[in-house]
């Protein structure tokens, strides 16, 4: 966050820094299909076994929060810890299943997609990396990011980041405006 004529919007109570970093973590899910040939002729389509699985690859991106409470990621990288999970396996010829050499498998990849429920956002002090509580201009993580420790923070003008919802409810900070989704209430 930049300094304005009236002073900095944020000053860390631990280290005195004025910049905030926004980190966004998410997962990309890449589907795959692997098949091995039937060499004995028992399977009508020539496939002995087919395995459908997906690879979940974690990513994170980060950037500075500006004085308008917006951020653009400056860096993005894959995080170690990709996970492979088999969704289903079908055996068409059990006789050929035993002893399939590794180089006999054919693998095709589907279109990767970002997992909708994998998004997590964090705001940290750039000086000491202390996590800072924050809210959003709109429900469902829409709009600008409003850190609680900024001088221009107004709890009645934003919605909490989901993990802070209970804390905001205890403080009576939850917005009294209707949400975008019908039947979905923050109160």
Q: What is the pLDDT of residues 90-121, one digit of tens each?
A: 999 988 888 788 899 999 999 999 999 999 99
Cα distance between residue 61 and residue 26, in whole Å: 9
pLDDT digits (tens, 9 = 90+) for 26-67: 999 999 999 999 988 888 899 999 999 999 999 999 999 999
The structure's pTM equals 0.77
Are 100 and 127 in contact, with CB atoms under 8 Å apart?
no
Cα distance between residue 88 and residue 35, in whole Å: 12
pLDDT at 178: 56
Task: Identify which has the larger pLDDT, 44 or 79.
Answer: 79
CA 134 to chain CA centroid, nearest Å: 17
């Amino acid at each position: 966050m930049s300094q304005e004529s009236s002073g900095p919007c944020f000053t860390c109570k631990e280290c005195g820094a004025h910049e905030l970093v926004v980190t966004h973590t998410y997962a990309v899910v890449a589907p795959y299909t692997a098949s091995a040939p039937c060499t004995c002729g028992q399977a009508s389509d020539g496939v002995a076994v087919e395995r459908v699985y997906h690879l979940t690859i974690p990513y994170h991106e980060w950037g500075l929060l500006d004085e308008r409470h917006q951020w653009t990621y400056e860096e993005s990288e894959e995080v170690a810890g990709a996970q492979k999970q088999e969704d289903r396996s079908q055996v068409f010829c059990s006789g050929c299943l035993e002893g399939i050499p590794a180089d006999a498998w054919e693998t095709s990849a589907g279109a990767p997609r970002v997992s909708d429920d994998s998004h997590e956002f964090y705001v940290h002090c750039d000086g000491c990396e202390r996590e800072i509580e924050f809210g959003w201009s709109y429900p469902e993580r829409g709009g600008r990011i409003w850190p609680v420790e900024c001088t221009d923070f107004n709890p009645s003008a934003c919605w909490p980041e989901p993990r802070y919802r209970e804390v905001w409810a205890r403080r009576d900070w939850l917005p009294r405006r209707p949400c975008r989704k019908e039947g979905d209430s923050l109160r």
